[in-house]
Amino acid sequence: MPGADLAGVHTFRDSRDVDMLLTLAAQKKRVVVVGGGLLGLEAAYGLSKAGSSVTLLHLMDRLMERQLDGPAAELLKSLVERKGIRVLLNANTARLHGETRVEGIELSDGRQIDADAVVFAAGIRPNIALAKDAGIPVNRGIVVDDVMQTGAPDIFALGECAEHRGICYGLVEPAYEQARVLARHLAGSTAAYSGSVVATNLKVSGVSVFSAGGFMGADGSEAIVLNDVRHGTYKKLVISDGRLIGAVLVGDVGDALWYLELIRNREPIARIRNRMMFGRLVALSSEAA
């Protein structure tokens, strides 16, 4: 990108980058953060909380589009903006301006934003260089089968660099699950990895967020939704064939792990369907009564 080599342009990846952000915040700089995923939101929140004037740019039409549906992302955006962070969606960065150090950022639609510093936190890419150089089949990641074996005998891959059934998870929990399968396989036991139910459960810019499973829905599924914008709460439960298959929570995530258990265990929920939105305590106590 033109201008990416200017002074004042940073990435956000490790502890040294955190030290850099602390320095920027102490100087009360005008900072533009590029990327509306978890890293970008955390960078923006930390800088704003420490006193910087922060604008957050995101290429997509909603924040955290891989973890949230439209209404949940819209609520998160409003809660983030209440913290003093300016959020611009559908914002495609075209170039950075400045002589020796960055002075502003220009979007593809011509909009220009003044900046003393720019922080890129726009996602990661699997490192496939070693496998590719070795002639091992790669796609977006290193292609593996259900025992985590690559296209080469006795060479295995797992974690963020691996691609299983077309998916690169980029999260730590699937890596643990893959490691357990590989360990059993190498020990001579029968094992197979069929994929992971991906769950996100964290605090984003001071806002609790949870999502798991097929929260976007599928053919034949139905959604139960509670949306309380005033109190900053959003809940969506997706049901298919009498089972919970996905959930999104913003604000109130107290029952997140219970919903995740229902999704992963594929437990029938017919008896608690009308109460499960109100949490485990209400659903199960009413069932017992």
Cβ count near 236 (within 10 Å): 23
* Model confidence band, residue 80 (pLDDT cutoffs 50, 70, 90): very high
Cα 235 from Cα 252, distance rounded (Å) = 8
Cα 10 from Cα 114, distance rounded (Å) = 16
Does residue 140 share a domain with residue 66? no
Does residue 245 share a domain with residue 144? no
Which residue from 7, 6, 80, 100 is spatially nearest to 37, judged by alpha carbons?
80
Does residue 136 share a domain with residue 114? no
Does residue 102 share a domain with residue 13? yes
Cβ count near 92 (within 10 Å): 12
Looking at the chain, the whole-number percentage of residues with pLDDT higher than 90 is 67
Asked whether the beta carbons of 64 and 41 are under 8 A apart, the reply is: yes
Range 5-33 average pLDDT: 84
Q: Which amino acid is at 159?
A: G
Q: Is residue 200 part of a domain?
A: no
- If DSSP codes are grouped into helix, strand and coil, which group holds residue 241? coil
Q: Is residue 3 part of a domain?
A: no
Which residue from 256, 258, 288 is spatially nearest to 271, judged by alpha carbons?
288
- If DSSP codes are grouped into helix, strand and coil, which group holds residue 179? helix
pLDDT tens digit sequence for 135-166? 999 999 999 999 999 999 999 999 999 999 99
pLDDT at 13 over 80: no
Q: What residue has token string 């960065």?
A: 93
pLDDT at 38: 84
Check which CATH number belongs to the domain holding 277 and give it: 3.30.390.30
Asked whether the beta carbons of 75 and 227 are under 8 A apart, the reply is: yes
Q: Is residue 1 part of a domain?
A: no
Cα 191 from Cα 186, distance rounded (Å) = 9
pLDDT tens digit sequence for 38-62? 888 988 998 898 889 999 999 999 9
Strands of 93-97's sheet in order across: 93-97, 104-107, 112-114
Q: Is residue 195 part of a domain?
A: no
Q: What is the DSSP letter of 159?
A: G
* Model confidence band, residue 287 (pLDDT cutoffs 50, 70, 90): low
Does residue 106 share a domain with residue 25? yes
Q: Is residue 2 part of a domain?
A: no
Does residue 248 share a domain with residue 150? no
Tokens standing for residue 115: 């900046």
Asked whether the beta carbons of 12 and 39 are under 8 A apart, the reply is: yes
Of 73, 103, 120, the residue at which a domain comes to its end is 120
Q: Is residue 193 part of a domain?
A: no
Distance of CA 129 to the CA centre of its chain: 24
pLDDT at 288: 53
Does residue 253 share a domain with residue 231? yes
Does residue 71 share a domain with residue 25? yes
Does residue 146 share a domain with residue 94? no
Does residue 70 share a domain with residue 96? yes
Q: 192: buried, middle or exposed (CB in 10 Å: 19+, 13-18, 0-12)? A: exposed
pLDDT tens digit sequence for 193-221? 999 888 888 887 788 999 998 888 777 88
Mean pLDDT rounded to a whole number for the chain: 91
Check which CATH number belongs to the domain holding 141 and give it: 3.50.50.60
C-alpha pair distances (Å), 159 with each of 10, 32, 37, 245: 26, 31, 20, 24
Q: Is residue 259 part of a domain?
A: yes
Does residue 101 share a domain with residue 24? yes
Cα 23 from Cα 26, distance rounded (Å) = 5
Q: What residue has token string 């502890």?
A: 15
Which residue from 25, 125, 112, 113 is spatially nearest to 10, judged by alpha carbons?
25
pLDDT at 246: 93
Does residue 259 share a domain with residue 224? yes
pTM recorded for the entire structure: 0.80
Q: Is residue 197 part of a domain?
A: no
pLDDT tens digit sequence for 221-232? 899 999 998 889
Range 90-118 average pLDDT: 94
Its domain, for residue 110, covers: 9-120
How many domains does the chain divide into? 3
pLDDT at 286 over 80: no
